[in-house]
Amino acid sequence: MLTPPTRSAINSVSKRPYICPSCLHRAQRLPLASATCPIRLSRRALQTATDPPKDDAPFRKLLKDAAKKQRIQEKVNGSPSKPSSISRDPRAEKWELTVGIEIHAELNTARKLFSSATTSANDTPNTHVALFDVAFPGAQPHFQKETLIPAVRAALALNCEIQTRSSFDRKHYFYQDQPAGYQITQYYEPFARDGYVTLHPHDFPGGVSPENGSITIGIKQVQMEQDTAKTVQQPPHTHLLDFNRVSHPLIEIITLPQIHNPTTAAVLVRKVQAILKTADACTAGMEMGGLRADVNVSVRQRNVKSPEDRHSYHGVTGLGQRTEIKNLASVKAVEDAIIAEWNRQIDILEQGGAIEGETRGWTLGSKTTKRLRGKEGEIDYRYMPDPDIAPVLVGDDLIDHLRRTLLSSSDSIIERLTEGPDFNVTSKDASTLLLLDDGDRLDYYLDVVQKLDKMLKSRSIGKPELYSRAGTVAGNWVLMELGALFKDSGWSKDRVPSDELASILQHLLCKEITGRTAKRLLQMKFDGDPRRIERIIDEHHMLLIPMSSEEYKTMAQQILEEKPDVVKDIIEKGQEKKVKWFVGQMMARGKEGTVEASTAEGVLRELLKL
Q: What is the pLDDT of residue 365?
A: 81
pLDDT above 50: residue 180: yes
336 vs 466: which has the higher pLDDT: 336
Name which of 505, 509, 522, 504 is nearest 463 in CA terms: 509
Average pLDDT for residues 202-208, to the nearest whole number?
78
Give the range with max mean pLDDT: 253-257, 414-418, 515-519, 565-569.
253-257
Count the Cβ atoms, other than its own, within 10 Å of residue 536.
19
Q: What is the pLDDT of residue 216?
A: 95
Q: What is the largest distance, in Å, between two alpha-carbon atoms of the chain?
A: 92
CA-derived radius of gyration, the chain: 29
Angle at the Cα of 192 (from 187 to 194), degrees rounded to 5?
Answer: 100
Average pLDDT for residues 575-593, to the nearest whole number?
84
Least trusted range by pLDDT, from 279-288, 315-324, 376-385 = 279-288
Percent of the residues in the chain that have a pLDDT greater than 70, as a whole number = 82
Mean pLDDT of all residues belonging to the chain = 82
Structure pTM? Answer: 0.70
* pLDDT tens digits, 137-169: 999 999 999 999 999 999 999 999 999 999 999
Q: What is the pLDDT of residue 594?
A: 76
Sequence spans of domains, the chain: 92-382, 410-539, 549-608
Kindly indicate the confidence band of residue 410, based on its pLDDT and cuts at 50, 70 and 90.
confident
Q: Are 58 and 430 in contact (CB under 8 A)?
A: no
Angle at which helix 262-278 crosses helix 410-419, to 10 degrees, equals 90
Question: In terms of DSSP bridges, do strands 358-361 and 323-328 run parallel, antiparallel, or are they unpaired?
Answer: parallel
Four-CA torsion 477, 481, 483, 485, nearest 10 degrees: -140
Q: What is the pLDDT of residue 16?
A: 34
Give SS3 for 563: coil
Average pLDDT for residues 290-302, to the nearest whole number?
92
Least trusted range by pLDDT, from 340-354, 377-391, 406-420, 456-470 = 456-470
Angle at the Cα of 194 (from 432 to 379), degrees rounded to 5?
Answer: 115
Q: Are 395 and 9 in contact (CB under 8 A)?
A: yes
Average pLDDT for residues 495-514, to the nearest whole number?
92
573 vs 501: which has the higher pLDDT: 501
Give SS3 for 199: strand
pLDDT above 80: residue 15: no
Q: How far apart are CA 453 and CA 113, in angstroms?
A: 47
510 vs 159: which has the higher pLDDT: 159
Q: How far apart are CA 170 and CA 445, in angstroms?
A: 47
Name which of 119, 154, 136 is nearest 274 in CA terms: 154
Phi then psi dihedrals of residue 321, to 5 deg? -65, 130
Q: What is the pLDDT of residue 287?
A: 61
Question: In terms of DSSP bridges, do strands 358-361 and 161-162 run parallel, antiparallel, or are they unpaired?
Answer: unpaired
Q: How far apart are CA 217 and CA 221, in angstroms?
A: 12
DSSP code for 546: P
Kindly indicate the confidence band of residue 6, based on its pLDDT and cuts at 50, 70 and 90.
very low
Name which of 419, 445, 415 is nearest 431 in CA terms: 415
